Structure 1
Amino acid sequence: MQHEKLHYVELPAVDLAATKLFFQQVFNWSFVDYGPQYTAFSDQGLEGGFFQADLCSNTQHGAALLIFYSEQLEQTLKKISAAGGTVVKPIFSFPGGHRFHFTEPSGNEFAVWSDKYQE
């Protein structure tokens, strides 16, 4: 941990089991459960957890966007779709690279970007 640096993020999850399975399948995450309404992840660049809630984190409502990096953008997109994620913004370019946005089974929005994507 570093003094005064971001360390942890907490996100809501309507379906904790589906959210855990999604991140295990796509990104090979492991989780530690702290009771039936909270699960935590670590060693992913930023530690955090999901808490049981009827809410979701979405940029449409002003939420912060957590962005993954991928050296193989299209392969990551295919893994996300195969695991039950929904692409909400297809691959687009921006200064510095390309990215897409997706939601996981509980509706939380994330993005994936790459500086190696070739159209």
Structure 2
Amino acid sequence: MLSAPYVTGSPNWIELGTPDVEGAKAFYGQVFDWTFVSAGPDAGGYGMFQLDGRTVAAAMTVPPEKGPPGWNVYFQTPDADAMVKAVEQRGGSVVVRPMDVFDQGRMTICLDPAGAAFAGWEPGRNKGLDRVSDVGALGWLELFTPDLAFALTYYGDVFGWEASQMPMPDGSGYYTMVRPGGAAQDTTFAGVLQMSADRLEASGGPYWLAYFGVEDCDASVARAQELGAEIKRTPVDVEGVGRFAKLADPAGARFAVVQGFTAAGATGGTRPPSGR
């Protein structure tokens, strides 16, 4: 699962882009008990979601004409400019060129060749999220892509990721996971799943999905639905993992919740959830 301190290639930041930040504050505040802290008068409304005073995510206003609502994950890079070169050389594209964010760090937003959005963060004063792999915090990611093998090669070239596989709990095949290059097997932070073109089109194209830990999956889903969320997948148990569900917030940003994280930052077992 995710862990900190972060290393090259690991997820170290996650950010909600939404047309309604005020609505997001209310929604996620009630679902995850998050509070919103402004980044200051010069940050254009940007701010951090915190839990017990520790940053677990961030949010910013993205007008509808600038793109759909969504959670964007940042991966650590020692050199944002070099990362962008690798992205473009391997067939990806750059949405936001590398830029300094005050003295906090340097960021860039990109698309992989299939069209899934992701971002890079070159740390400055801001090294990353304060809390991960715990209740109320980011704990897992999944990439839904039309070509699993190509995605593994692409992100491996850009970030140095290594991949491994494990049998699916139901015996239906294998689940592919990635971890930072040179890191131990237990540092996997994401699964990569191949989906048909029809299913991806129905979902709006290839995408990254973020999983946040909860104490009670069913209660969290019920509360989210009361607040206007759409249930994309009802709660389901996965052997060796826990219980998870997929949702979209009232503005349409997709995310997932998973019950099973411990205070130590692991799930109730070694297996991550599967977004199938």
Q: Which residue of 2 aligns with 1:50?
A: 59
TM-score, normalization by structure 1: 0.77
The percent identity for this pair of structures is 20
Q: 1:72 to 1:3 in 2, by over 3 A?
A: closer
How do 1:2-81 and structure 2 match up within 5 A?
2-4=5-7, 5-34=10-39, 35=41, 37-43=45-51, 47-53=56-62, 54=64, 55-57=68-70, 60=203, 61-81=205-225
Q: Which residue of 2 aligns with 1:90?
A: 234
Structure 1 gaps, min length 5: none
Measure how far apart 1:3 and its partner are: 4.2
Q: Which residue of 1 aligns with 2:197?
A: none
Measure how far apart 1:114 and its partner are: 2.7
Q: 1:6 to 1:42 in 2, by over 3 A?
A: farther
Q: 1:3 to 1:94 in 2, by over 3 A?
A: closer
TM-score, normalization by structure 2: 0.37
Q: 1:11 to 1:82 in 2, by over 3 A?
A: same
Give the greater-gyration-radius structure (CA). 2
| Larger RCO (CA under 8 A, 6+ residues apart) | 1
Q: What amino acid maps onto 2:220 in structure 1?
A: T
Aligned partner of 1:113 among 258, 264, 275: 258
SS of 1:107's equivalent?
A: coil
Measure how far apart 1:7 and its partner are: 3.0
**Count of aligned positions:** 116
